[in-house]
A = this chain, B = another copy of it.
Amino acid sequence: MKILEDKSLKTTPIDTLGEFALIDHLTKDIKLENSSTILGIGDDASVIDKGDKYSLLSTDLLIEGVHFNLAYSPLMHLGYKSVAVNVSDICAMNGCAKQITVGLAVSNRFTIEALEELYEGIKLACKHYGVDLVGGDTSSSTSGLMISITVLGEVEKDIITYRSGAKINDLVVCTGDLGAAYLGLQLLNRENEIFKDNPTIQPDLGGNDYILKRQLKPEASVKYIKILKELNIIPTSMIDISDGLSSEALHISKASSVGLTIHEDKIPIDHTVMNLSAEFKINPIVCALNGGEDYELLFTVNQQHYDKLKKDPDFTIIGFVNDQSQGNNFIATDGSSHQLTAQGWDPIKK
């Protein structure tokens, strides 16, 4: 047993690869052995055959200093958000979250009252989404707070929606509105900097409740899944918008071997986002494309559902699916066409 030895390993820094490329690299040679495993890594949740239905399993980490800043994330909201982002992954498979487990590593700077507040948020989200908190693990950590949540959900076999089913000429649709969560983060960062410089200055957050809530206490798209069911619509592909519209569109494109074309003037932006982004001198479309954390759904759907979707204010048709050879495209309001990339469309580079 070789231990306590000097190692002369090759040393390639982790950030040489992006997050997705790193996961691909580490898991590329995994073979699935159990016949019940329908889908492993590569979608919003893994899919496991449980007879009548599929089980859906997904894990998300929230790390202090990476995913949240406790200077402006109230612990109760953080607890709520950590459940919501996991439920969102189950929504993205057209499923329903049922159980979660919570892994919590906390340094000794946290008090019992702080953890109570965090758990209040977790329990509130569980109640809101009808999810049972069934287990977990609590540990000390050498620094900071780490939350690891795993969600188990289920979906009827005939309505499960993967990233991989988009077909040419399908409509590209998103729910709700985009860009607010990113703008909320900018607002919190700005006020936090001012507060750090001069703690007597009260933060100027008034009138931005919607934008702040989108960042601090996002909701999973459970209601849209219900509406789709009521409208008798099964999307051909679906993903939740956690990393920005561009990145998610490219995931569907890659998984489905198609291209997506998205129209700038169709992207739904809330009027409060319009106003605040002007103040920040940020293009709100850039917030939507590259910002992330909106936890809306992006899906593709057969054109037969056009009328039903057009009538429903919950959904916005933002583009269409084209042949893979035509690539992923962003049509700006001035009619110019641009390649859609993971870094998104930047009007400054236009």
Contact = CB atoms under 8 A, between A and B. Distances in A.
A112 B14 contact: yes
Contact of A3 (B16, B119, B205): B205
A15 to B, nearest CB: 7
B142 A55 contact: no
Name, among A22, A46, A136, A139, the residue most crowded by chain B CB atoms within 10 Å (CB to CB): A136
Interface stretch (A64-72, A274-282, A317-325): A64-72
Nearest to A37: B132
Interface size bracket, A side? 35 or more
Nearest to A41: B135
A314 interface: no
A158 interface: no
B12 A112 contact: yes
B98 A134 contact: no
Interface string A53-90: 00101111101111100011110000000000000000
Contacts of A52: 51
Interface of A: 1-4, 6, 9-17, 19, 22-23, 25-27, 29-30, 32-34, 36-37, 39-41, 45-46, 48, 50-52, 55, 57-61, 63-67, 71-74, 98-99, 101-106, 108, 110-117, 119, 123, 126-127, 130-144, 146, 148, 150, 152, 188, 191-192, 195, 199, 203, 205, 209, 212-213, 216
